[in-house]
Amino acid sequence: MTGRGALICGVDEAGRGPLAGPVFAAAVILDPARPIAGLADSKVLAALRRETLSVEIRSRALAWGIASAGVEEIDAINILQASLLAMRRAVEALAIAPAEVWVDGPHCPRLALPVRGIVGGDAKHASISAASILAKVARDAEMRSLHRVHPVYGFDRHKGYPTEAHLAALRTHGVCEAHRRSFAPVRQLLGECVR
């Protein structure tokens, strides 16, 4: 258990479920002297609110790090392990070391620090909420960049998730290098192309 005043780092990821793009993670050590109003799980916040909070978090936190694991890594080691890898990279990118790392969910990356998983942590702890916001905003920006390269898939709208529009675009245009080949809908489509 951490003592009073010990620095806690919150960690969360964004992008485990999509069929395309990297998975992102963020690590945040908030400054108790500079609280940020309105922190919440990124999934319940409007996009504009996330963007605003992201700027505030980066300017007011004691330290923050954002990292990702790419499509090739996801396909090579699976999405859970790639998420944990992105989390570890985000923590390692911090300018200062926390006393303890709190991760949203039951799975924790291997770190040279005390770490614990907290199911629903992004709704319970401000530092994890902040990490969830940074990870989501960074991933959304990456998906908008991928959209500029591959506009036919609509990555700017669905962010790579398996929506009807995305699945239809996959059937029409096939798979691009941004797609996760280990994910069932993409793998099935590739299998159909081989036959």
User: How do residues 56-113 score in pLDDT, each as one tens digit?
Assistant: 999 999 999 999 999 999 999 999 999 999 999 999 999 999 999 999 999 999 999 9
Are the C-beta atoms of residues 66 and 11 closer than 8 Å to each other?
A: no
User: How do residues 6-44 score in pLDDT, each as one tens digit?
Assistant: 899 999 999 999 999 999 999 999 999 999 999 988 888
CA 59 to chain centre: 20
- Cα distance between residue 152 and residue 124, in whole Å: 38
Q: Work out the pLDDT band at 165, boundaries 50, 70, 90.
A: very high
* Helix and strand totals (H; E) in the chain: 8, 5
Which pair of tokens denotes residue 9? 């780092």
Q: Which domains does the chain have, with CATH numbers?
A: 8-149 (3.30.420.10)
pLDDT at residue 99 in the model = 96
Closest alpha carbon to 9 in 67, 92, 81:
92
Q: Where are the alpha helices (DSSP H) in 18-78?
A: 47-60, 71-77
pLDDT at residue 4 in the model = 47
pLDDT at residue 157 in the model = 95
> Would the pLDDT of 2 be above 70?
no
